Amino acid sequence: MMNEETEPFEQRLSRQPLRQVPATWRGEILAAADLNQRKVRAFTSAATFRVRMRDIFWPAPAAWAGLAAVWIFIFAVNLSMRDPSPRRAEKSAPASPEVMVELRKQQMMLAELIGPREPRDADRPKNVAPRPRGARAELVAV
């Protein structure tokens, strides 16, 4: 059921010979098709990711929202507990000679109160005379 207006056009079109696509056009067309295919794949992978995330979160959206609210609350409390004053290491003035003398006196007094340090049993070296290996074997065998 052809229209009377399109019939002469189709007849003229059928009489024209088919021409080959130029080689330069072919490369451009294939490159554009490849780029389009990559975009479709990227969109499909993003859509797949969204579907997977929806499947994970959809069964219990209230639970996930509650968990997010708890984390936001913890973060807010953590920020509010911080000390707003900046922390910086301040150099202290060197100790005066009088303070140094008093510190030495205190160290000497502490050393007098504690007394000389005696080595404990574990700290003392054991005086064991070395024996020949054969004698050691005899002791074990007996």
Q: What is the pLDDT of residues 17-43, one digit of tens each?
A: 888 878 888 888 888 888 888 877 777
Q: At 74, is the pLDDT very low, low, confident or very high (cuts 50, 70, 90)?
A: very high
Comparing C-alpha atoms, which of 79, 77, 58 is closest to residue 69? Answer: 77
pLDDT recorded at residue 136: 55
d(CA 85, CA 80): 13
SS3 113: helix
pTM score of the predicted model? 0.28
Provide, rounded to the nearest whole percent, the portion of the chain with pLDDT above 90.
17
Please determine, for residue 133, whether its predicted confidence score (pLDDT) is greater than 80: no
CA–CA separation, 119 vs 21, rounded Å? Answer: 100
Distance in angstroms (rounded) separating the CA atoms of residues 113 and 107:
10
21 contact partners, CB below 8 Å, separation of at least 6: 29
Give the pLDDT band (50/70/90) at residue 62. Answer: confident
Q: 64: how many CB neighbours lie within 10 A of its CB? A: 13
Burial of 66-87, coded b for 16+ CB within 10 Å and e otherwise, reads: eeeeeeeeeeeeeeeeeeeeee
Is the model's pLDDT at 109 over the cut of 70? yes
Percent of the chain residues topping a pLDDT of 70: 73
